[in-house]
């Protein structure tokens, strides 16, 4: 169980931070989804057509900040249950947004529902393994 928990923490945490790195242009152009902030905002707008254009940059910043915070906290194992639960909800919002804006296939192809479920499963795991909380409490 400990290794599964570590695997989920690393997979989710690195996944969030990789997406953030992509939108800031840190991945090579050849393998990037967005490649820069402007392209990320265009994608954000296309997935959220019901949001006024003026609020898209704010939504992009909020999503990015959440992904950075959740990613780091999951990687180091800080308040894992809390950040796993928050990650599950964030990913569920992403999945539903994708589903309502462009159909369910994209959400399934990108495994966003599976990632959300994995985050919620991680939130139920009580065993502490390589987590900052267990180091601090000693």
Taking the complete model, does pTM exceed 0.85, yes or no?
yes
Q: What is the pLDDT of residue 132?
A: 60
Distance of CA 89 to the CA centre of its chain: 10
Model confidence over 50-68: pLDDT tens digits? 999 999 999 999 999 999 9
Instruction: Count the residues in the chain.
Output: 138
By the 8 A CB rule, do 71 and 11 touch?
no
d(CA 116, CA 50): 23
d(CA 24, CA 17): 11
- At residue 138 the predicted structure's pLDDT band, cuts being 50, 70 and 90, is low
Least confident of 2-11, 79-88, 109-118, 124-133: 124-133
Residue written as token pair 């985050």: 119
């Amino acid at each position: 169980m400990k290794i599964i928990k570590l695997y989920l923490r690393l997979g989710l945490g690195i996944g969030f931070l990789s997406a953030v790195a992509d939108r800031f242009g840190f991945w090579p152009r050849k393998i990037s989804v967005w490649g820069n902030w402007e392209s990320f905002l265009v994608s954000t707008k296309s997935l959220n057509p019901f949001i006024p254009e003026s609020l898209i940059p704010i939504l992009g910043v909020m999503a990015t900040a959440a992904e950075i915070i959740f990613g780091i906290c999951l990687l180091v194992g800080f308040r894992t249950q809390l950040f796993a639960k928050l990650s599950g909800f964030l990913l569920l919002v992403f999945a539903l947004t994708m589903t309502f804006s462009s159909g369910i296939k994209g959400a399934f192809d990108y495994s966003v529902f599976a990632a959300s479920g994995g985050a919620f499963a991680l939130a139920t795991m009580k065993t502490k393994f390589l987590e900052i909380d267990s180091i601090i409490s000693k």
